[in-house]
Amino acid sequence: SGVRLARDPGSSPDRERLTFLRDTLAGLTATPKAFSPKYFYDGAGSALFEAICVTPEYYPTRTETALLREIAPALAEAIPKGAVLLELGSGASDKTRMLLDAAPWISAYVPVDISADALEGAVARLREAYPVLAVHPVVADFTHAIDVPKALAGRPVVAFFPGSTIGNFTPDEAVALLRSVRGRLGPDARFIVGADQVKDLEVLLAAYDDAEGVTAAFNRNVLVRINRELGGDFAPEAFEHRAVWNPAFERIEMHLVSREAQRVTVAGQAFAFEAGESIHTENSHKFTPASFGRLAEAGGWRIEKEWISPDPAFGVFVLRA
């Protein structure tokens, strides 16, 4: 496609592959074994995530989208004239439209995503729908690079972090991310964050283990990606998809559980799995308004406004530095 994507200047496809390799080998050596959820999002993984969003069980996307549509006029009040909207982990950029429509005075949009494939499609669609909006896509791991392009310097910035992606971080990591966004965007910044809420266990578990098996395929896709990009020999079906609630940390965990004792090789290194041994692939923390408020405060922000949808509860928060 004709979409030009800026890259995190500190990165290149070679370095990204090496980081993926190093993190994967470290994760397979660790006890318990674990991967970072950011590696789910190659082209196929981003497409599988979009497919999860339309399963009947996965309520967060449609719930947050409906909430954003409803509160868009109030959110628009938090967006200054001429603002740059910077989105962390923008994916398909579908929810962004709610803000662009409610605040047509947004002058530029900077979607940051780890998946070049997801960005290309999203940007092509956005440029068509919003021809006067300046769109500056950046391919980057947003935990490393969240700078506003130089051409847009001086304009007020509103950061947007929907989808409860903040829940994929441990509290320490989330605080570090909140602090770094605050540090880079300055004292006048606003941060609009979506954060899924603690709720009925059956509803939560079903959302991460849909009947059609889309989430299972999403989870196993990281093994397919390791095989292709790092030279691995995982048999993805030899691992069972499992979603569990961890009450101590108030989070859903996804695991890939080895169905039998087996050996797997990645980049020439062998790793042994016992029957029933798991790779911890994702945390999805769930919040209450109080627990999210404590997190935001530890990250250097205060909650200016908050909205929680009626069941299933999902929160949208406007943070001020």
Binding residues vs ligand AVJ (CB under 6 A):
52, 60, 163-165, 167-168, 208, 215, 282, 284
Q: Tell me how far, at minimum, the Cβ of 171 lies from ligand AVJ, in Å.
A: 15
Supply the DSSP string of 33-71, one letter for each residue.
EE--GGGG-SHHHHHHHHHHHTSSS-HHHHHHHHHHHHH
Q: Tell me how far, at minimum, the Cβ of 124 lies from ligand AVJ, in Å.
A: 22
Q: Tell me how far, at minimum, the Cβ of 37 lies from ligand AVJ, in Å.
A: 7
Treating both helix axes as pointing N-terminal to C-terminal, what angle do 116-129 and 43-53 enclose, rounded to 10 degrees? 60
Minimum CB distance to ligand AVJ smaller for 58 or for 271: 58
Q: Tell me how far, at minimum, the Cβ of 267 lies from ligand AVJ, in Å.
A: 26
Minimum CB distance to ligand AVJ smaller for 103 or for 174: 174
Q: Tell me how far, at minimum, the Cβ of 303 lies from ligand AVJ, in Å.
A: 20
Minimum CB distance to ligand AVJ smaller for 215 or for 278: 215
Residue 302: both structure tokens together: 């205060």
Nearest residue to ligand AVJ by CB is 284
Minimum CB distance to ligand AVJ smaller for 37 or for 137: 37
Minimum CB distance to ligand AVJ smaller for 161 or for 234: 161
**Rg (the chain; Cα; Å):** 20
C-alpha span between 18 and 177 (Å, rounded): 23
Contact between 233 and 265 under an 8 Å Cβ cutoff? The reply is yes
Treating both helix axes as pointing N-terminal to C-terminal, what angle do 214-230 and 43-53 enclose, rounded to 10 degrees? 180
